[in-house]
Amino acid sequence: MSRELARRIAFTIGALLLFRLGTQIPVAGVAVHGGFAANKIAPLSIFSLSLFPYLTAAILVQLVAVVWRRLRALERSGEAGRRKLARITLILTLLLATFQAFGIASTMRQMPGLVVHPGDWFVLSATVSLVGGVFVLIWLSEQITRRGIGNGLALVLTVSIVASLPSDVATLLTQLRRGAISGNVLVSNAVFLIVVVALIVFVERARRNVPVQFAARRVGERSLPSRSAVLPLKINSAGYLLPVTVAPWAISLPVIFAGFIFGADDGSWVETISAHLQFGEKAHIVFGSIAVFALAFVYTAFVIDPDHAAESLARQGGVIPGVTPGEATASYLDRVVSLTTVIGASYLTALSLIPEVFLAYGNALVYKMGGGAALIVVCTILDLQTQVREVSLTNPGGVRR
């Protein structure tokens, strides 16, 4: 192991330990012990909002960029343009996080025994603490990506998922000893999880290779011969973070807004809709499917632009055999990307809805890790494996970059 790789791994571990420490720090003013409400809910830490406001803001900015060419051009204008996009994303993150944190703090204040001094000062301090926690996590994730190893956002989410596994395993063993579940059910669920992991690995590594032929050309004093290559298009170009993690927010945010505007008293239409959109309900399955499928298309449209790809190929003297350069190439790539996106979006939708479908039909999984969580964990590990290999090859003698 090179010194550079060891340094990056040590930094990543230290940053993730700092994150886990933060999850144990409760919001000031919350009665962690004692009180009926305090015993019924999990302790609210400063990192309770996690990175979801930031991920939601990112997908919203990318959605606008797909339909607004000026914002799309900003993303392609170099480092300065990307910094402006990042600033817009952070401003939107602040708004979303403040809205959710204020809602949580206001709800907590009304729960008896949960807050020591349930006044306006608690709502303000809790809101600031929760919003600050989001931005600390964003900064920590960026540091991991820049100075550590792997995708910082994905690693933070993965650690959050994996941290609950020991208690889940202990609960399963307790249920097994008490006879609440049978050994056959446990084994069948384990086999199902293994199949899901194998499917994730297969699809995430799957590519649709578009053949490209480059003509012979001169570059300065050099003559480049004709050559064949491929343009690899991932089956799941939308990635493994945004569609799966943002879809629940896309469903819940309109209801939360409606509750603030119209009220969510017992018997109101907002409360009725909210009840039908709970996890496991058929309406949640339907709208969740639509949300994941649509977000997969939105993010793919942001990542892959057939017109831009066709222009890039034309500048480099590349042609797709049997396809005329220019507009015809863009149309061909658009058809190929659309087909792969349908497959990838269907795959993401199926994974994200696995636990809900089982629950809706009375066969709830005996473990908490659903398809979406498994997707994040497996893809993060695959990404880590790739980056470890790249750093090892780049720094064979431990030379710092």
Which range among 71-85, 315-329, 353-367 has the greatest average pLDDT? Answer: 315-329
pLDDT of amino acid 262: 65
- Encode pLDDT of 342-359 as tens digits: 999 999 999 888 877 777
Beta bridge partners of 219: 222
pLDDT of amino acid 399: 46
Q: Closest Cα to residue 296, out of 236, 337, 336, 253?
A: 236
Q: Alpha-carbon torsion 41, 45, 46, 48, what sign?
A: negative
The band of 219, judged by pLDDT with boundaries at 50, 70 and 90, is: low
Q: Does the pLDDT of residue 41 top 50, yes or no?
A: no
State the Cα–Cα distance between residues 32 and 38, nearest whole angstrom.
6
Which residues, 6 or more positions from 148, have their beta carbon under 8 angstroms from its beta carbon? 8, 9, 11, 12, 15
| Residue that wins the pLDDT comparison between 183 and 35 | 183
Q: What is the largest CA-CA distance in the chain?
A: 80
Q: Does the pLDDT of residue 155 top 90, yes or no?
A: yes
pLDDT of amino acid 325: 87
Q: Does the pLDDT of residue 36 top 50, yes or no?
A: no
| Residue that wins the pLDDT comparison between 117 and 300 | 300
262, 268 contact by CB (below 8 A): yes
State the Cα–Cα distance between residues 374 and 240, nearest whole angstrom.
10
Paired tokens of 12: 């990543």
312, 372 contact by CB (below 8 A): no
243, 296 contact by CB (below 8 A): yes
pLDDT of amino acid 94: 96
Q: What is the mean pLDDT of the chain?
A: 82
The band of 364, judged by pLDDT with boundaries at 50, 70 and 90, is: low
CA distances from 349 to 15, 171, 204, 250, 341 (A): 32, 28, 14, 14, 12
Domains of the chain: 1-163+381-401 (1.10.3370.10), 206-366 (1.10.3370.10)
pLDDT of amino acid 363: 58
The band of 246, judged by pLDDT with boundaries at 50, 70 and 90, is: confident
Q: Does the pLDDT of residue 244 top 60, yes or no?
A: yes
Instruction: Classify residue 29 by its DSSP letter.
Output: T
The band of 100, judged by pLDDT with boundaries at 50, 70 and 90, is: confident
CA distances from 340 to 21, 97, 142, 232, 329 (A): 41, 34, 30, 11, 17
CA distances from 362 to 187, 240, 278, 281, 359 (A): 18, 28, 15, 11, 5
Q: In the sheet where 318-319 sits, what is the strand order?
A: 227-234, 207-214, 318-319
Q: Does the pLDDT of residue 171 top 90, yes or no?
A: no
The band of 61, judged by pLDDT with boundaries at 50, 70 and 90, is: confident
Average pLDDT over residues 56-84: 79
- Encode pLDDT of 287-326 as tens digits: 888 989 998 988 888 888 888 888 888 888 888 888 888 8
Q: Closest Cα to residue 157, out of 353, 6, 379, 391?
A: 379
Burial class (CB in 10 A: 0-12, 13-18, 19+), 239: buried
What are the residue ranges of helices labelled H in 304-370?
306-315, 327-360
State the Cα–Cα distance between residues 305 and 337, nearest whole angstrom.
9
Q: Does the pLDDT of residue 386 top 70, yes or no?
A: yes
State the Cα–Cα distance between residues 183 and 168, nearest whole angstrom.
16
pLDDT of amino acid 398: 46
Q: Does the pLDDT of residue 140 top 80, yes or no?
A: yes
pLDDT of amino acid 38: 42
